[in-house]
Chains A and B, each alone.
Chain A
């Protein structure tokens, strides 16, 4: 990286300006971006949604949207200028030099062509004849560790899981052994364990092939796992750059500082205080900015910041920041006061909701799919029960059963001691308003044609049974509670950003003063700064109204932050249930252990990842004995295959379903978290 001789860099971007033409005006998205990726290096690019990460990637592969254009600067890959490539030269460049893998693998594969021919195409374009191309495609699929590549070749994309689709695309991208591989959010939307597998695969292949990688993500945890250097992009400007460790430990730009503070990490929990946020919004597309691009949202901004833009100055030979006050960046005042009064949860009293031996069997083409098997749990007023598990483990079915959307096959749900009718159509208004839901995608809950005002008034009428001026007063109260402005009331959902829409959805759920709100991945589609604000809002509402949450998320840092207790589901069975800190700190169930080790965190971690081999087994034919035995790294032997362990209370309030005694688990897991100690 320090060397500048030609050929030593895989990618060199200099002073790149890119703009999109919208309504007859060119709007600048990238502002003089300069970055360099050395041969064999992996460079991370982070920043919140809309800051121009994908635009940079598309400019490099020369595939900007029709209305986009490079207006200044240069890009060279492997020492060759790529901006003036045309026709055959451009095709050659794409076929041999550069590869890109992006988000949403399902859409990136052609739905009507078999996977095998799609992979083979990447070889035929290099001049490999038909039959050979098929063989090479099979080898390529083998290299990305797809089981049974022969049969995968014959399948259509929709017959593969998301993780397999992404592997196939990686196989395609590596077919040419590219000089530069660009990965644009390659694991966003995948399950945590699948994400971990794909990331492992990429780092392994990268080490093998010495490929240079430009890794784009909004997730600093992923970047810190995958990259050695990182660049922080804000509003199309590179604002900070340096080695990953340095950036995480000693960030010198207020934006980086803010990003790091938004992430619930290091085991913080809601009773430690609010999360910090980054107030305000990204400047609009093509906005004219005179001073520092971050000045509008920066608590350290002064007159100079607004008048004069700082340069990207080196703090050390490898670390640079674009800030006048980088020496004070760490002292950035919090945007949110940390204090939060949270009343303690009283578990001596009666629980608010009780699930008693809930089972759900779906009948599907003659098969019985056991989505839930005898799940029992209780939630007390004002507490949050976090629900985790891979996709397909039954989280959503559990929530829907509680809400009466799907009736259970056996078992009951009780609300304040009274049995709830299994279908919501039969539930009284009292029961309906007591249980509400907030979805990952707020659009599904909000009528797009109605104004926010109309949406909220309708919910007030339906849930609280109030109308007229009472409803008006309540609506304004709600709007204030969820920190929306009065202006939002006249707008329609399409005019709102994801974070604002989620606030409306939360206001709607709170219209009837619910006792329990199911939150199904409520922040998964949001940027970290917006996520922090929404989590703060949920916690504030809980402190104020003693509402309980059933909180579903695949982001374990988020679950840990907001939950009092955590339930771990696998194949529809409760594997572990206990206080959040206990479940996270261990000793934990072998499945929980594997889940936790799969998460790439900003803090890194000493221990190696525990690999969960293969996909989650089908719930139509769950394994015998302990359902986890087919993938369990700590499996004891025959006993695990034959007898299903019962769910027992291994210590006060901590339930677990495993044949290994707690003390033994403690010993095993402690031994492994200290790699220096001799292993047992």
Chain B
């Protein structure tokens, strides 16, 4: 905080002032008390603003990026998966599966770099950094977010497509699908009424768990694109040993994760009568 050349006295004074010379347990209890009161404390970095003031804009930025990435990846992932699942074993299926798998194993900063190279540097279509000028309009924001969101989406695509494909293949092989075909229903009806609904259930469950992964991916992407989101903020807080900011940031990430998982669980239950009725009975 005070830089590598600070005197010992200055460090001691700083520590005393901020309470960091007290036993760790005491500090922790103190911190918990604050949380309960809705007070996340102040950042340790000058000018020591309230932590929430730092987190809020970062959170909003990250949400924009994450939502954007999800809006791209969920429809494409599901479409790709359904497409592959319905043509299992054929070239379309192999193609989608191989592409998805290969994209998923490339680390996101590599994907990000390639995207920057292609779209910003060679083609010059999109800006290199994600951060827009303050007060920029929605369209500009979208242009700035396009590359990082794509980078995130590409990594997740393979995952979602694979789960969807597995769900579709399983539903296609299920006895109830056979029942539907043997009733003489046309293929389209069988797929839309009997196969898809059951096939998408595991996908929804998986999308929820991917939120955690997305947060991890955010750190790399936000760093690469120099985007002031939660990931970059947590990273910087860790580098500067700004513990109040760091713990608060991690806490917020945890809460977001819980909320999203809860939403996904509810969606899952609404689709699945077995769970819906267990709750009602």
Residues of A within 8 A of B (CB): 61, 63, 66, 91-96, 98-100, 102, 104, 107-113, 121-122, 125, 156, 158-159, 169, 172, 365
Q: How far is the CB of B174 from chain A (nearest CB, A)?
A: 7
Q: A92-B184, A107-B174, A125-B185 are in contact. Are A156 and B198 (CB under 8 A)?
A: no
**B215 interface hit (Cβ, 8 Å):** no
B185 touches A112 (CB 8 A): no
Within 8 A of A (CB), among B231-281: 271-274, 277, 281
25 sampled A-B residue pairs with Cβ under 8 A: A61-B182, A63-B178, A63-B181, A66-B89, A94-B181, A94-B184, A95-B183, A95-B185, A98-B182, A99-B182, A100-B182, A108-B176, A108-B178, A109-B179, A111-B176, A111-B273, A112-B271, A112-B272, A112-B273, A113-B193, A122-B183, A156-B274, A159-B277, A172-B183, A365-B281
What 3 pairs between A and B have smallest CB-CB spacing?
A95-B184, A94-B184, A107-B175
B162 contacts the other chain (CB 8 A) = no
Asked whether any CB of chain A lies closer than 8 Å to the CB of B144, the reply is: no
Note all chain B residues with C-beta closer than 8 A to A93: 184
| CB neighbours of A156 from chain B (8 A) | 273-274, 277
Q: Complex: how many Å from CA A95 to CA B181?
A: 9
Most A Cβ at <10 Å: residue of B174, B176, B194: B176
B206 at the interface (CB under 8 A from A): no
Contact B183 A63 (CB under 8 A): no
| Minimum Cβ distance to chain A for residue B128 (Å) | 47
Rounded to whole angstroms, the CA-CA distance of A365 and B174 in the bound complex is 33
B153-188 to A contact mask, C-beta < 8 Å, 1/0: 000000000000000000000111011111111100
Q: Select which of B182, B185, B193, B273 is within 8 A of A63 by beta carbon.
A: B182
Indicate if B197 sits at the interface (CB-CB under 8 A). yes
**Chain B: number of interface residues, binned into ranges:** 20 to 34
Given contacts A111-B198, A125-B185, is CB(A158)–CB(B179) below 8 Å?
Answer: no
B175 x A125 contact (CB < 8 A): no
Q: Using Cβ atoms and an 8 Å threshold, which residues of chain B touch A61?
A: 182
Contacts of A109 in B (CB 8 A): 176, 179
CB atoms of A158 and B183 under 8 A apart: no
Chain B residue numbers with a CB within 8 Å of A108 are 175-176, 178-179
Contact A112 B182 (CB under 8 A): no
Given A112-B271, A156-B273, A159-B277: A107 touches B176 (CB 8 Å cut-off): yes
Report yes or no: A158 in contact with B184, Cβ–Cβ below 8 A: no
A158 B273 Cβ-Cβ under 8 A: yes
Chain B residues, CB < 8 A from A96: 184
Assess the B183–A94 pair: CB atoms within 8 A. Answer: yes
Residues A102 and B175 in contact in the complex (CB < 8 Å), given A94-B184, A96-B184: yes
Closest residue of chain A to B184, judged by CB? A95
Q: Considering the chains assembled together, what is the distance between the CA atoms of A109 and B183 in angstroms?
A: 12
Please tell me if the beta carbons of A112 and B197 are within 8 angstroms of each other in the complex: yes
Within the complex, the shortest CB–CB distance from B87 to chain A, in Å, comes to: 12
State the majority secondary structure of interface residues on B: helix
A160 to B176, CA, bound (A): 16
Q: Give Cα A47–Cα B217 distance, bound, in whole angstroms.
A: 57
Which chain B residues border A125 with CB–CB below 8 Å?
183-185
Chain B 184-208, CB-CB to A under 8 Å as 1, else 0, gives 1110000001100110000000000
The reply to whether B184 and A111 form a contact with Cβ atoms under 8 Å apart is no
Give the distance to chain B from A152, nearest Cβ to Cβ, in Å: 15
CB distance from B161 to the nearest CB of A (A): 21
> A323 to nearest B CB, angstroms?
36
Cβ–Cβ < 8 Å partners of B194 in chain A: 110, 113
Closest to A105 in B: B175
| Chain A residue with the shortest CB-CB distance to B180 | A110
Task: Report how far A108 CA is from B89 CA in the complex, Å.
Answer: 25
CB distance from A367 to the nearest CB of B (A): 11
State A102–B183 Cα separation when bound (angstroms): 13
Q: How far is the CA of A122 from the CA of B179 in the complex (A)?
A: 10
Of all chain A residues, which has the CB nearest B174? A107
Q: Give CA–CA (A94, B194) in the complex, Å.
A: 17
Nearest chain B CB to A401's CB is how many angstroms away? 27
A549 to chain B, nearest CB (A): 35
Q: Name which residue of chain A comes closest to B194, CB basis.
A: A110
Known contacts A66-B89, A156-B274; A94 and B182 CB within 8 A of each other:
yes
Q: Which of A104, A107, A121, A159 contacts B183 (CB 8 A)?
A: A121
Q: How far is the CB of A85 from chain B (nearest CB, A)?
A: 11
- Which residue on A lies nearest to B281, using beta carbons? A365
Which A residues lie within 8 Å of B176 (CB)? 107-111
User: Across the interface, which residues of B come within 8 angstroms of A99, CB to CB?
Assistant: 182
Q: Given A111-B274, A159-B277, 7 other A-B contacts at CB below 8 A? A: A94-B184, A107-B175, A109-B179, A110-B180, A111-B273, A121-B180, A158-B274
Complexed CA–CA distance, A111 and B277 (Å)? 12
Q: Which residues of B contact A100 (CB under 8 A)?
A: 182
- In the bound complex, residues from chain B placing their C-beta under 8 Å from that of A111 are 176, 198, 272-274
CB of A169 within 8 A of CB of B179, answer yes
Please name all residues of chain A whose beta carbon is closer than 8 Å to the beta carbon of B281 when the two chains form the complex.
Answer: 365
Residues of A close to B184: CB separation below 8 A: 91-96, 125
Chain A min CB distance to B205 (Å) = 15
> In the docked arrangement, what's the CA distance between A96 and B184, Å?
8
Verify A110–B272 contact, CB threshold 8 A. Answer: no
Cβ 8 A contact of B186, one of A91, A159, A172: A91
Least CB distance from B3 to A in Å reads 56
- Bound Cα distance from A63 to B174, whole angstroms: 13
B window 115-145: CB within 8 A of A: none
Nearest residue (CB) in A for B278 is: A158
Cβ contacts under 8 Å, A98 to chain B: 182
Query: In angstroms, how far is the closest chain A Cβ from the Cβ of B259?
Result: 26
CB-CB under 8 A from A112, the residues of chain B are 197-198, 271-273
- Residue of chain A at shortest CB distance from B201: A112
**Chain B residue with the shortest CB-CB distance to A108:** B175
Write out the residue numbers on chain B whose beta carbons fall within 8 Å of the beta carbon of A66. Answer: 89
- Give Cα A110 to B191, complex, Å: 12
> Which residues in A have their C-beta under 8 angstroms from that of B272?
111-112
What is the CB-to-nearest-CB distance from A11 to chain B, in angstroms, rounded to a whole number? 16
Q: Most chain-A CB neighbours within 10 Å: which of B179, B198, B271, B274?
A: B179
- CB of B30 to closest CB in A, whole Å: 43
In the complex, how many angstroms separate the beta carbon of B220 from the nearest chain A beta carbon? 36
A528 CB, min distance to chain B CBs, angstroms: 25
Q: Which residues of A contact B181 (CB under 8 A)?
A: 63, 94
Identity of the chain A residue whose Cβ is nearest the Cβ of B273 in the assembled complex: A156
A661 to B186, CA, bound (A): 62
Q: In the assembly, what is the distance between CA of A365 and CA of B281, in Å? A: 9
CB distance from A108 to the nearest CB of B (A): 4
A16 to chain B, nearest CB (A): 19
